[in-house]
Amino acid sequence: MKKLFGWLLIVALMMLVTGCAGINVKKEAFAKPRTLAIVTVGGSVHGIFTSGEEDVKILAESVPVCINELAKSRNFKLLPAKSVLTSKAYAAFKNDGPMMLSLLASGYKRFTPEDEKLNLKALAKETHADGFLILNFGYAKSESSLVLMGVPLGSVKPALSYVVMAVNAEGEVIWNDLVTINGEEGIHTVMGIGGYSSLIPKLNALTRTACQQTVKNLADQIAAK
């Protein structure tokens, strides 16, 4: 019997935070290539028995992996992170957004676009960006289990729910997408005990695949008649 521990909860939380239930694109906003900048990167890690320090490291390692894939898009140009993080306009943002996704990448702030419309306009003017990206990662596990001679045995694989949302300088959503993915390789457990730490290196591969998929989804939606 297949069980998803914490997985559906993370997906639900991310959909609640971002309002994203699948891909939506305002094609007119991408009539010509846009210039976008990342303004927040959040996430959570659940069910793989990591420490707080490991959780922070997992998210930190996800950021450059995803940026590398986003930068390959032909539908927008991605500004360097320092363009935002060192700007005067970003310094004015309040760091008091939703706490449902507990992790926040270093240097970024947690906020909702509706609450920072004036600062978003100022940031667009300062950085010459047309819009901004909000990224959220939810890392968890998927597990299949059975009982053999009274002993619970399991097969555990890493899982990721990734949400990307783009807003324009007015804070209006112009693109959002949700990708959920399970790893193909995992670990075996006996009575719930196993080498969960070996799942951590596999998370970057999931990040790369998920970010690649959203870039492709955007291109396909824009190209579709």
**Residue ranges of domains in the chain:** 2-223
| Strand partners of residue 178 | 163
Q: What is the pLDDT of residue 3?
A: 37
Residue segments in the chain with a per-residue pLDDT below the cut of 50: 1-20
Residue 165, pLDDT score: 93
Output the pLDDT for position 186: 63
The pLDDT assigned to 60 comes to 93
pLDDT tens, position by position, 147-195: 676 666 667 778 899 999 999 999 999 999 999 988 777 655 555 656 5
Residue 64: the pLDDT is 95
What pTM, to 2 d.p., does this model score? 0.84
